[in-house]
Structures are given as structure tokens and as C-alpha cells.
Amino acid sequence: MTNQQALNWATQKLLNKKISSAALDAQLLLAFATKQNRESLLAHPEKNITAAQLLSYKKLISNRRQFKPVAYLVNKKYFFDLPFYVDKRVLIPRPETEVLIEYLINYLKNKKASITVADIGTGSGCIAITLKRHLPKIKVIATDNSKAALAVAKKNAKNNKTKIYFFYGSLLKPIINKKIDVIVANLPYLPADELALKQAREIIHEPKQALIAADNGLGIIKKLLKQIGQQKNQPPLLVLEHHYNQSKKIINFAKRVLPEYRPTKLNDLAGIARFLIFQLDNLK
């Protein structure tokens, strides 16, 4: 079977499952199965693939037809042009989170002071590692309450040649009262009932503890805000990612536990309020 024949077969198999990214998924998975890059694959449609490669490809397509994410099947996801190893232990990095990264890079790049950033609930480590790669002078701390996730984050830090200080524990507990200038957090924020939706057929393969939170998705975010309010040294800047309809509720809660912070909304690329910036003081 040639590259093109394999792609035609796989694309149709995926289209039969109404997977909208069928053609792209077929290409990425064939490139992975045959150890080619995608450009070479498309440039040589007549090239034959081996029986072993075809068997591997068929298994990958079978898994994709069960809506298992491509990133898990190839154990890789690019985020801010950096490669990250991912598997079922961690959430797959989302492109919308890159808006948060761009904001922080622009905000911190000209600061003169020594800056410490804490990434709370680091998961794959994509936020912490990307910030360190683009802002090498800052100190980056990362926490997670999953030892399995921390193992993936440490692997990614090594692969991307970055020095991150990792801590195991719930939210701020392992770094309580450390002097931190910026807290950034992309915590679980989905209500439990969202996993029952038809469009959730792929995210059900991702770790629930990285997706779902009690209190209609706000439980863990509220817990973090409470912890910050109890800190002896409160960070001048807090940046949160949240669900599309949660900003008003988070701001109202923050008024009670963090009354001195000034909130600002930040939209994602689709113009949806997806991030909240809470500022206490200006960093110099």
C-alpha cells in the first residue's frame, strides 16, 4: 500500500465517525507510524509502506475512531512552538492557553527586578516551561497534586532544557508563604455534567482530576483564591484561566477573599472572556 492509498483509507474511516479533522489526523498518524515527517509524506504519495507500518497505522486509526486524542496516540503536542510529551497522566495543552503565555511574556519581559513565577497545577508543565524558555532570567516554581503529572512535567522540563523547581502538593500548600511575584494557574474548571455532552467525546480520555471541579466548576479556583488571601506575602499579580461563563462569579468571590486586588478580563482569540488578571501592585 502506498502513502496515498493509506491516507485515503484512513481518512474515510475517520470521516465515517464524523471526525472533522479526519484528513489531518490521518496524515499525522501515518507520519508517526512510518517515522516520516508530514511534509515528506505528502511529497511522496507513491511511496510504499511496509506491512509492519500498515499494521501499526491500522491500530492507530482504530484508536482514533474511538475518539482517543491524536496527541496521546503520538505522545506529543506542540505548545507555543515547543514540543511537549503528553499521555493520559496529563491534560493536553490547549492553543487558547497561549494567549495567557503571550500576556505574561509581554508583561514581564522588561521588568528589572528578580521575578519568581509560580505555576499552580502545572500538569504537563507547558506553562512553566514555556515561560522559562522565553524569559530565562525569571525563577519558575511549579506545583501539582499528582505525582504522575509531575513525572511528565519533569520529563518535559528536561527535554526542553529548562530549570523548573517542582513541588508536590495541593495548590499553594507546598510553597506556602514563599515570596512569589506572579501566580499563574490553569486549574480544573469544568462542571461534572459537561463530560456527558456529545462534544466531550474526546476529553473523556483525559484525566478527570485535571478537568472537573466541584461547585459548578469553581471549587478549586475558589480554594486557590482563599489560599492567596491567607498568604503572608501576597503576590502582586495573579493570572487565571477559567471556563467561558465563569468570570463574573470568580470576580464576585474574589471581592470577598482578595478585596485589594484589581480584576481585569482578558479574551481568548475567539473574543471570549477566558482569563482573569488580578493585580495588587505593579512589578518594576
The predicted pLDDT at position 113 comes to 76
pLDDT of 120-153, one tens digit each?
999 999 999 999 999 999 999 999 999 999 999 9
Alpha-carbon span 51 to 177, nearest angstrom: 59
Count CB neighbours of 262 within 10 A.
10
Kindly state the percentage of the chain with pLDDT values over 70.
Answer: 98
Contacts 24+ apart (CB under 8 A), 265-269: 266/99, 266/100, 266/103, 267/99, 268/96, 268/99, 269/95, 269/96, 269/99
User: Which CATH fold topology does 77-279 show?
Assistant: Rossmann fold (3.40.50)
* 197 pLDDT more than 80: no
pLDDT of 77-95, one tens digit each?
999 999 999 999 999 999 9
AA identity, residue 172? L
pLDDT of 11-68, one tens digit each?
999 999 999 999 999 999 999 999 998 999 999 999 999 999 999 999 999 999 999 9
The predicted pLDDT at position 123 comes to 98
pLDDT of 151-174, one tens digit each?
999 999 999 999 999 999 999 999
* 283 pLDDT more than 90: no
pTM: 0.94
* Beta carbons of 205 and 234 less than 8 angstroms apart: no
Of 231, 244, 247, 218, the C-alpha closest to 280 is 231
How do beta strands 273-279 and 237-241 pair? Answer: antiparallel
* Predicted confidence band of residue 198 (pLDDT cuts 50, 70, 90): low
* 102 pLDDT more than 90: yes
Alpha-carbon span 208 to 230, nearest angstrom: 28
The predicted pLDDT at position 284 comes to 62
